[in-house]
Chains A and B, each alone.
Chain A
Amino acid sequence: MNLRLFVLVRSVQILITFFIIMTLLFVLFRLAPGDPVAFLTDPQMTEEEVALLSQQFGLDQPLHRQYLLYVWNFIRGEFGISFYYHRPVVEILKDRLPKTALLFTTATILYAFAGITWGKILAWKRGSLLDTSVSLFGLLTHTFFLPWLALILIWIFAYHLGWFPLNAMISPEIWLDPESGWLRKGLDILHHMVLPLAVLFLTHFGGYTLVMRSTMLETLREDYILTARAKGLPEKVIRNRHAAPNAALPVVTSLGLSLAFSINGGAITETIFSWPGLGRELVFSVSNSDYPLAQASFLLIAAFVLVSNLIVDIIYAYLDPRIRY
């Protein structure tokens, strides 16, 4: 019951935050120099199309009406028409969101688990050769410049060794072949996903490993660990059941805090690997001055980050019974 209340309060907070972000975006685009019609209409559009869009977004009306319409359009999922694709923005985003979610969620789960597991082991064996080498490796990869790491990995594993495809999410020849079943298609996506995942994994897991390692070292000094030892519990039980869950809490917090930062990296990764997700679409639409698509994909990414934050909060509340309203 308490947990439910906590989730409810956090959801309301997140909705308010999203609303503020939406408003800021509206202000940004309306205060910008130039004609607001230019942000919504393409020079190539016909007169009727321009008139229709102007009416739909209320560009002929006062600013407060425009704002209300903007919110209403958002709720209805009406984002206008992409200049570049000449298709409704919402259709494009519907196609892109699952692809971003697939890549980003898989990566996040992988590096969070790897970080917690490695941090636990390293703290347990502190000072050993394993500790020093993995810590150093994590520190180095953590500070790698993400786009550069991506280019280097493509250069080595895709270009020289040819183990993985250079870019994109699927191979058209497999997907157009009516013979190929879902297993072959799934493996094809996985094959394309290895390098982008590796980039996100390598640039993130070190940070979590180091955080987990230091909180685990702190936890191991607690009295209750000594008690567990005195009771004669097996080492593995002390490590995995007594120490690790408590030590992992700050890691979950930092996971939530760095989601916004990680999505930046996700967008860059998508762009380099031509992964057809939201981040790449945002980068593309900004360079093509495709304003409706840019605005909508930005809002969707913001919503994605907020919802992920909510999920992290719920996980945290679930792990730590003290967090309740």
Chain B
Amino acid sequence: MSSREGKRTNSSKPRHRAFPRTGIRWLRHLEENWRIYRSNPMGMAGLVLLALFGLMALASFIPPLIDPIYDPMSGVDPIIDTSTGPSWRHWLGTDFMGRDIFSQLLTGARVAFMIGISAAFMAVAIGTLVGMTAGYFGRTVDTLLMRLADIIMVLPGLLVILILSSVVGRLSIWNLVIIIALFKWAGVSRVIRAQTLSLSVRPYIEAARVAGASHARILFRHILPNVLPLSFLYMTFGVTSAILIEAALSFLGFGDPSTVSWGMMLQWVWKTGHMFKAPYWLIPPGVCISLITLSFYLVGRALDEVLNPRLRKEVLEQ
């Protein structure tokens, strides 16, 4: 009995050595990657900008606490009933109803993160699942899924959402997030499929299959961990496009009327005819949308470099 137990521990030892303390190895990887990431000044600039927007999103809870007149939606300054320029009382001025533009801008950051991250997360989750399935099973499954992806990719997403909202009425912010995700998974699935195709012919997958692993196990234990970094990269790009779609939709007047987003603020400036009179109102939301797009783009490109050593060489050569 005891000799058997001894044997068992013996046999488990080499296995431990083959995968030494996975957790720490993962951390070391992270450290290594962070070192590569840090050497990219543009990526760092993007990260700093994102941190600033994060601070804005957090700070958006403060103004309504100070005084209800600073509430971005319902707060109306009793002594102001029209758009006024920046002042001590309202740092960026007020909109056409006398609401504080600065607190709207802060709330816009929160809404942008909410929409961007949730839509991109959903899109990437669907895209990764579909891409892995298509790449792993191949044949008819692959053809069908990829044709579907092709059709979605040739559709102008914003205009489809317009048509949808003409049928079902105005979309709430969460419905919008789901619909954006349904449009954005296609691009991700193409990339993940290509990666899965190249992974599924590798010896370790065959070994897993011979060892009797089920399809689900191979997909989720052996392929998924290897495509996840790529999914994560595409998520940073997905966040941008989700934010842009929501902003454009709100700008055209089809956004969720109960939410303040940067696109909505621009729609108000435009539709109330203040765009020539109130630069203090026209400029900030546009700068914010453009900068958040820029920062996610920079972070995405820097991550791309971390994941894709070929790109790194090019940078070093310069």
Contacts and interface: CB of A to CB of B under 8 A. Distances in A.
Interface of A: 17, 20-21, 25, 28-29, 32-33, 39, 126-127, 139-140, 142-149, 151-152, 154-155, 159, 214, 217-218, 257, 259-261, 263-264, 267-268, 271-272, 279, 282-283, 285-287, 289, 291, 294-295, 298, 301-302, 305-306, 309
A261 B244 CA distance: 11
B157 A148 contact: no
Contacts of B294: 139-140, 143
A260 B162 contact: no
A21 B244 contact: no
Given A218-B314, A298-B159, A306-B154, A144 B167 contact: no
Nearest to A288: B166
Nearest to A214: B314
B162 A282 contact: yes
Nearest to B163: A298
B266 A148 contact: yes
B155 interface: yes
B162 A305 contact: no
Point out which of A148, A217, A291, A302 has the most chain B C-beta atoms below 10 A from its C-beta. A148
Point out which of A145, A147, A282, A289 has the most chain B C-beta atoms below 10 A from its C-beta. A145
Interface size range of chain B in the complex: 35 or more
Interface stretch (B96-104, B118-126, B195-203, B246-254): B246-254
8 contacts: A20-B151, A140-B290, A145-B266, A151-B269, A151-B282, A217-B317, A267-B159, A302-B155
Interface string B242-273: 00100110011110000000010010011000
B154 A29 contact: no
A29 B167 contact: yes
B185 interface: no
Contacts of B244: 145
B73 interface: no
B166 A294 contact: yes
Contacts of A127: 318
Interface string B282-318: 1101100111011001000000000000010010011
B165 interface: yes
A305 B160 CA distance: 13
B289 A145 contact: yes
A295 B297 contact: no
**In the A-B complex, the 6 residue pairs with the closest CB atoms:** A148-B286, A264-B158, A145-B289, A143-B294, A286-B166, A143-B293
Contacts of A301: 156, 159
B19 interface: no
Point out which of B167, B269, B275, B289 has the most chain A C-beta atoms below 10 A from its C-beta. B167
Identify whether the interface residues of A are mostly helix, strand, loop, or mixed.
helix
Contacts of A140: 290, 294
Given A264-B159, A267-B158, A282-B162, A21 B279 contact: no
A21 B290 CA distance: 32
Nearest to B318: A127
Contacts of B297: 139, 142-143
A261 B290 contact: no
B151 A21 contact: yes
Nearest to A257: B153
Given A152-B282, A155-B276, A301-B159, A28 B167 contact: yes
A151 B163 CA distance: 25
A260 B155 contact: yes
Contacts of B290: 140, 143-145, 148
Contacts of B162: 282-283, 286, 294, 298
B251 A287 contact: no
Contact of A147 (B156, B167, B251, B291): B251
Nearest to B244: A145
Given A286-B165, A294-B166, A263 B289 contact: no
A264 B155 contact: no
Nearest to B252: A283
B163 A28 contact: yes
Point out which of A143, A152, A154, A218 has the most chain B C-beta atoms below 10 A from its C-beta. A143
A268 B251 contact: yes
Contacts of B317: 217
A20 to B, nearest CB: 6
B282 A155 contact: yes
Given A17-B151, A282-B162, A145 B157 contact: no
Contacts of B283: 152
